[in-house]
Amino acid sequence: MKRQNKRLGQVFLHDRNILRKIIDSADLDPSDTVIEIGCGDGILSVALAERCKHLHIVEFDAYYLDKTRSLLEGKDNVSFHHCDALKFDFLEALRHRSMTEGTEGEITPFKMVANIPYQISAKLLQKAVDFSHHCTGLSLLVQKEFALKCVGVPGTKAYTSLAVYLQFHFDIKLAFGVGRNCFYPVPEVDSAVITLTPRTPLPYTVNASYFDLVRGAFWGRRKTLKRCLIENPYLSFEKTTLEQCPFLIDNPLIRGETMSIDDFYQLYLDLGLGVKES
């Protein structure tokens, strides 16, 4: 029987076919550097170490970190980090040390592969935005409900401000579903693997107000966009600004949950929050 820390939301993948599909979804090359978040009992770690140039394992639970370290004993291409992934400095861990004192070296590009607990999924992906310029791809096993939110489209229940934020920064695909019986102990929900590729270039150059605007538009679901902009806690607008906004004049009854990334950008410009790109 495996030792489980329920507080950490630990479940353990035991289906070898799903393991193979996760590896395939990551499209690994022997020259790749990979970061694995949460090694668990090491079943995925062993497979990753055999397929990449260097594997960095970030695990909060010392028990399973030590267990995986034993499984990979003798492997010189694996580094272990006992740390909370949400506090881990990914870029510093992958920075080449310069021979010249005081000079920072380049950061090794990497891929991320992980089976991440639901409770940190959103925060980890928001953190991934910060290192997306150095990450060439992510392959993540998450709860199905969260996966559907990541790929949600305008006008659907799964579409949220998080979907807009993530899709602004990544091309996201739902790779395949994973049934609950592929895990031990058996969880109450199904899972899915999503793949994320950083968007280069980004759709638009925006400041933080763009994403505050998105959050504000979703603040009162099923309320009109104008009502959300009046009542939301993220941004405040003068009454005349909203009355004179071309987007709102053309779309008086539109709701935030039906708007695309492009729609939000046009609204962002019309409200004077940004400068149109030349």
Residues 13 and 127 in one domain: yes
Residues 94 and 113 in one domain: yes
Residues 100 and 213 in one domain: no
CA distance 10 to 78: 22
251-262 per-position pLDDT tens digit: 999 999 999 999
Task: Name the percent of the chain in helix, strand, coil, to the closest 5.
Answer: 40, 20, 40
Inside any domain, residue 53? yes
Inside any domain, residue 192? yes
Inside any domain, residue 275? no
What average pLDDT does the segment 89-105 reach?
70
CA–chain centroid gap for 88, Å, is 15
CA distance 88 to 65: 15
Question: What is the extent of the structural domain holding 229?
Answer: 208-270
Which single residue is written with the structure tokens 């992958």?
94
199-212 per-position pLDDT tens digit: 999 999 999 999 99
CA distance 89 to 85: 8
Inside any domain, residue 276? no
Residues 119 and 150 in one domain: yes
Inside any domain, residue 174? yes
Query: Domain of 163: which CATH number?
Result: 3.40.50.150
Compute the C-alpha angle 146/149/153, nearest 5°: 160
DSSP 109: P
What average pLDDT does the segment 52-71 reach?
96
66-82 per-position pLDDT tens digit: 999 999 999 999 999 99
165-215 per-position pLDDT tens digit: 999 999 999 999 999 999 988 999 999 999 999 999 999 999 999 999 999
- The pLDDT of residue 6 is 47
CA distance 260 to 48: 37
Residues 116 and 10 in one domain: yes
Say whether pLDDT at 43 is over 50.
yes
Average pLDDT, the chain: 92
Inside any domain, residue 82? yes
Residues 50 and 122 in one domain: yes
Query: Domain of 216: which CATH number?
Result: 1.10.8.100
Overall number of domains in the chain: 2
Inside any domain, residue 278? no
Residues 187 and 237 in one domain: no
Say whether pLDDT at 142 is over 80.
yes
Residues 180 and 212 in one domain: no
Residues 81 and 149 in one domain: yes
Inside any domain, residue 243? yes
